[in-house]
Amino acid sequence: MTLTSSAMEWPKRNEEAFQRGKRVLQSLECDALSFSSDDLLHLTLEIFLEQEFPKKVNVSEEKLKKFILCVRSCMFDNPYHNWFHAFDVTQTVYCMSLTGETYKTLTDVEYFALIVSALCHDLEHPGVNNPFLVSSRSDLATLYNDRSVLENHHCCRAFQLMLHSEIQLLSEFTNAQYIAFRAVVLNNILATDMARHGEYTTKLKRLTDPNTPPDDRKMDKQFEMEIIIKCADTSNVLQAFDCPILFVTLKSFRC
């Protein structure tokens, strides 16, 4: 993975747009498409700063900036799976984790991993789905043996980016922290494969069924994070009508 110098330049902040976005950053009223691509860089960074991740997990603000810039540069110019969608899902995950108080059940590293996994969940998405990649005998399908092709690719590229010599996002992590972080990111991104949707709805129905024994109705925190990112990935129906309408329109043309 080669990083270009232009991808590493942090843009000047538009204060009006930033303050407008910051006011709704923890709500479902944040409309990604009402901001510029550069505005979303600053708002993404603000999510990490609001939770004091530089201090809590020992990841510098400078490293975060490089990482966020490179995530943007790795999002292809698709009608739907693009940088705006990456931010939209990240911000929605952030909102849901606060509203449902999921963050209170997580360690700092786990919460950091939840936000990072949302940001990287569609990294280098080619704009087509897994069945297409498999049926067309694509290189990606061959590489990942036809199993969760896109999701495995997103995971791979995310860690290649984080571990890149010019970023080293996780260089201060202990081995135990890295293992915990990696497990959360991998599980969360792999959960976004819609081929596994039935698996999740079945488990959720059992968890909410009053006939299920009480001890079996407890939701573990990893499953809760996976549900949050899955919901955020398809969250347009939760937002005010004028926020997701363009996203929905663009996606309808790809179905």
Catalytic residues: 81
Distance (Å, rounded) from C-alpha 12 to C-alpha 174? Answer: 34
Q: Rounded to an integer, what distance in angstroms lies between the CA atom of residue 4 and that of residue 75?
A: 14
Q: How far apart are CA 163 and CA 202, in angstroms?
A: 36
Which residues lie closer than 8 Å to 55 by C-beta, 6 or more apart? none
Contact between residue 193 and residue 35 where contact means Cβ atoms under 8 Å apart: no
What amino acid is encoded at 65 in this protein? K
Count CB atoms within 10 A of the CB of residue 11: 12
Q: CA 142, CA 120: separation in Å to the nearest integer?
A: 22
Distance separating alpha carbons of residues 204 and 210, to the nearest angstrom:
12
Structure tokens at 233: 């990935």
In Å, how far from its chain's centre is CA 206?
Answer: 27
